[in-house]
Amino acid sequence: MAKYAAEGVRVVLACATDGAEGDILNPRMDRPGIKDRMVELRRAELETACDILGVERIYHLGYRDSGMPGSEANRHPDAFCNADPEDVTRRLVEIIRAERPDVVLAYDESKGYEHPDHVRVYELGTRAYHEAGDADRFPDAGAPWQPKKLYYFATFTQRRFRILNDAAVAAGAEAPYAGWLEKWDEFGFAEPEITTQVDVAEYVEVRSKALLAHATQIDPDSFWFAVPDELQRQVYPWEDYTLIDSKVSTEVPEDDLFAGIDTPAPPAVPERR
pLDDT at residue 37 is higher than 90: yes
Cα–Cα dist 194/197, whole Å? 7
Q: What is the DSSP letter of 65?
A: P
Domain 2-246 is found in CATH 2.115.10.20: no
Between strands 196-199 and 238-246, the pairing is antiparallel
30 φ/ψ sector (left φ>0, alpha ψ -120 to 50, else beta): beta
Q: What is the mean pLDDT of the segment spanning 104-123?
A: 93
Q: What is the mean pLDDT of the segment spanning 167-193?
A: 93
CA 44 to centroid of chain Cα atoms: 17
Nearest one of 151, 140, 61 to 97, comparing CA atoms: 140
Nearest one of 66, 263, 233 to 164, comparing CA atoms: 233
Q: What is the mean pLDDT of the segment spanning 5-24?
A: 97
Q: What is the dihedral of CA 16, 239, 148, 83, to 10 degrees?
A: -20
Q: What is the dihedral of CA 64, 69, 74, 75, to 10 degrees?
A: 180
* CA dist list (Å): 29 to 23, 33, 219, 221, 224: 10, 10, 9, 13, 17
CB 98 within 8 A of CB 134: no
Place 263 in a pLDDT band, splitting at 50, 70 and 90: low
Q: What is the mean pLDDT of the chain?
A: 94
CB 64 within 8 A of CB 88: no
Q: What is the mean pLDDT of the segment spanning 124-133?
A: 98
Pick the more confident residue, 198 or 190.
198
Give the DSSP H or E segment for 44.
Answer: helix 38-53
Give the tens place of pLDDT for each residue, 136-162: 999 999 999 999 999 999 988 999 999
Give the DSSP H or E segment for 58.
Answer: strand 57-63
Nearest one of 229, 172, 163 to 201, comparing CA atoms: 229
Place 81 in a pLDDT band, splitting at 50, 70 and 90: very high
Between strands 57-63 and 238-246, the pairing is unpaired
- For residue 98, the model assigns a pLDDT of 98
- For residue 162, the model assigns a pLDDT of 97
